[in-house]
Amino acid sequence: MELEEIKDNAKKKVRILKMRKTNGTHKTIAVFDLWYDNAIVVHGLFLKKINGWFHVDFPSRPIPLGEEKEYLDTCRPATAEWRRAITEVVVAEWSKLSSAQSKEDSHEQPHV
């Protein structure tokens, strides 16, 4: 499967978390549920920023793909391209949501 196809087929359902530092170097900034052909691909994917780099924590269990009961084991190194594609989707979605949220915040007038 092509990387672009993976990215195009992953339907996003995103919940933003408050940015919170878990130690001095990284913070969890969002939690994602990604959908692929109407099946949950990844539930509870954590997007972190570690030392300025985005990092995604994938669940360490097989993930169902589609209706054919295929499974994708995200622990295997062979899925590195899939992980990269999903990480790009997650970062792009978070960036869109983050910029939209900051625009809303800047339009709010303080109550006097």
Long-range (24+ apart) CB contacts under 8 A made by 98-102 are 98/16, 101/16
Q: pLDDT at residue 29 above 60?
A: yes
Report the alpha-carbon distance of residue 95 to residue 83 in Å, rounded: 18
**What residues contact residue 36 under an 8 Å CB cut-off, 6+ apart?**
9, 10, 11, 65, 66
pLDDT digits (tens, 9 = 90+) for 56-79: 776 655 555 555 555 555 544 446
Report the alpha-carbon distance of residue 28 to residue 56 in Å, rounded: 9
pLDDT at 12: 53
**Could you tell me which of 37, 16, 33, 26 has the C-alpha nearest to residue 94?**
16
Question: Who wins on pLDDT, 23 or 55?
Answer: 55
pLDDT at 95: 78
pLDDT at 48: 73
Question: Who wins on pLDDT, 27 or 65?
Answer: 27
Q: Give residue 96's pLDDT band: very low, low, confident or very high (50, 70, 90).
A: confident
pLDDT digits (tens, 9 = 90+) for 43-58: 556 777 777 777 777 6
Residues 97, 100, 106, 112, CA torsion sign: negative
Mean pLDDT of 17-39: 56
38: which 2 tokens?
A: 């109407």
